[in-house]
Structure 1
Amino acid sequence: MSRADHMDVAAYALGVLDAQDAERFEEHLATCWACAAELETMVPVVGLLSGIDGEAMAALEQTHTDPALLDRTLMAVRRDRRRTRVRQLLATAAAVVVFGGVSAAAAGMLGDEPAPPQAVPTPGAPTVAPSGEPGDPNDPGVGGKEAIEGDQHNATDPATGVQTTMWLARKEYGTQIAVQLSRLPGPRTCRLVMVRKNATSEVVSSWSVPVGGYGTNQNQLPLELTITTSTPVRDMDKLQVQSVDANGVASPLVTVDGI
């Protein structure tokens, strides 16, 4: 029993031995349990190895004795492996392109879908005057307009007919005063005077009224101002809008009492 007999297991399993060698190996197989066991383990993979032809196997056998043939064989194997890697890379790239196209199409389909409805904020309720009087429909905060911060005070002067709504908001620095004036004819110069509970007063702001006035037949839009003062609300007694003539003499137009 020679070493070559043991080396013929794979060749026999693949069916590449000629008739004489196959017969000789079968005679050896009948008395060699090691080869029989090895052949049994190779049976499941014979189908995978069936793609190797006899010429390739013979060439492989010759590489043991022919160094030049071994080099050529190794070069051929390397080229084949490179081609295989290139094919794998191309296949991977193609798969990525196809997947990317499918993803883009799916994103496009999703993009065509209508956006879910969003909640619309409910407009804030208008501030109610402390006096209990109904709010003026033209006031900010009424009829869907945004509410103004602070306590609301309404007043109409019976002599001049000027109307005002003022909102007083307590702040750390003092008081924020939002003023709305209508039925205010022009041209004239006006000012807002704050009278404190200690009988002192302060000119909080001043402005000019054009010819058309504010909240009049010529200009229906009211005048809206936002003013700040360092005086807190608790120290205020009243707020008065005054008209100032060319000589600096002031006369009241409308007064908000009982702040």
Structure 2
Amino acid sequence: MSRADHMDVAAYALGVLDQQDTERFEEHLATCWACAAELETMVPVVGLLSGIDGETMTALEQTRTDPALLDRTLVAVRLHRRRTRVRRLLATAAAVVVFGGLSGVGVAGLRGGGDGERIPQAEPTLTTPVTGPPADPTSDPGDPGTGGNEQEGEKHNATDPATGVKTTMWVASKEYGTKIDLQLTRLPGPRTCRLVVIRKNATSEVVSTWSVPGGGYGTSTNQLPLELSASTSAGLPDIEKIQVQSVDVNGIASPLVTVADL
């Protein structure tokens, strides 16, 4: 019984022997308990070794007489397996990238943790530009209501022929009395001013005081008007006139502009 007969166990298990060698090995197997036992232990791994072709087995057979061939064969097999693994890893990574780019975000957003409940997704919000009401082309640029809230009450315009001071005044009747909004221009400075309400019963009330800087208001030096608001407990029907007065260092008041057509 030759040594080659014992070496054919793996080749027989993989089915790579030709018909003549297969018949010869089966005759040997019937009388060799050692090969029979070896063949039985190889059965579980036959599936793993089935990928090895006949040429590889022939090369392995030849290595028993050529150690150098064994080394070259092992190197070639390792290189082939390494290249195969690399190609599989690259293919898998590419598939993951493509799949993740197409559906990963959508799938991840559909379900929560382990409860399988659907997570509501935020929808994109479309922003609508918000614009204010169009400006009134007929508005007076000097009107303090321009570009802001409209003034409340009856509007009165007055210009003093002696001082040249000009005012626009809005007077509104309130439960507590009267509300007064006014704008002053052509008001030189520096000076101290006050707003006085003169009732029809000849009594008066100072409802506001302020200082005017050297450039004044609504002048060539300072074109911005002076705007202010005040209130009085006097009812609108009880008011005869509203007057802006200038007060000197001695406390003497003199009228700058008066609104009397209330």
TM-score, with length taken from structure 2: 0.51
* Partner of residue 145, structure 2: 141
8 Å contact kept, 1:193–1:203: yes
Radius of gyration: which is bigger? 2
Write the mapping of 1:88-103 to structure 2, written as runs, cut at 5 A.
99-100=110-111
CA RMSD of aligned residues (A): 2.9
Residues 62-104 of structure 1: CA distance to partner in whole angstroms, max 9, x if unpaired?
A: xxxxxxxxxxxxxxxxxxxxxxxxxxxxxxxxxx955248x77
Distance 1:185 1:217 in 2: 10
Q: Report the 3-state secondary structure (helix = DSSP H, G, I; strand = E; otherwise coil) of the residue aligned with 2:161.
A: coil
Q: CA deviation at 1:139?
A: 0.6
> CA, structure 1 residues 98+255, in 2 after alignment: closer, same or farther (shift >3 Å)?
closer
Residues 133-187 of structure 1: CA distance to partner in whole angstroms, max 9, x if unpaired?
A: x974311234x44211111111111111111111112111111111211110000
Distance 2:129 2:250 in 1: 62
Give the letter for the 1:200 counterpart.
T
Distance 1:220 1:116 in 2: 38
Distance 2:217 2:210 in 1: 12
> CA, structure 1 residues 105+224, in 2 after alignment: closer, same or farther (shift >3 Å)?
same
Write the mapping of 1:122-133 to structure 2, written as runs, cut at 5 A.
122=133
Of the three residues 232, 235, 240, the one matched with 2:235 is: 232
8 Å contact kept, 2:144–2:227: no
Write the mapping of 1:85-124 to structure 2, written as runs, cut at 5 A.
99-100=110-111, 107=122, 110-111=123-124, 113-116=125-128, 120-122=131-133
* Unpaired segments ≥5 residues, structure 1: 1-95, 127-133
8 Å contact kept, 1:124–1:146: no
Of the three residues 194, 197, 200, the one matched with 1:197 is: 200
* Partner of residue 248, structure 2: 245
> CA, structure 1 residues 125+236, in 2 after alignment: closer, same or farther (shift >3 Å)?
farther
Q: Report the 3-state secondary structure (helix = DSSP H, G, I; strand = E; otherwise coil) of the residue aligned with 2:141.
A: coil
Write the mapping of 1:165-180 to structure 2, written as runs, cut at 5 A.
165-180=168-183
**Is the aligned partner of 1:153 residue 2:149?**
no
Q: CA deviation at 1:226?
A: 0.9
> CA, structure 1 residues 195+135, in 2 after alignment: closer, same or farther (shift >3 Å)?
farther
Q: How many residues align?
A: 152
> CA, structure 1 residues 124+171, in 2 after alignment: closer, same or farther (shift >3 Å)?
farther
* Consecutive aligned runs of 4 or more in structure 1 exceeding 4 Å deviation: 103-106, 123-126
Distance 1:137 1:97 in 2: 59
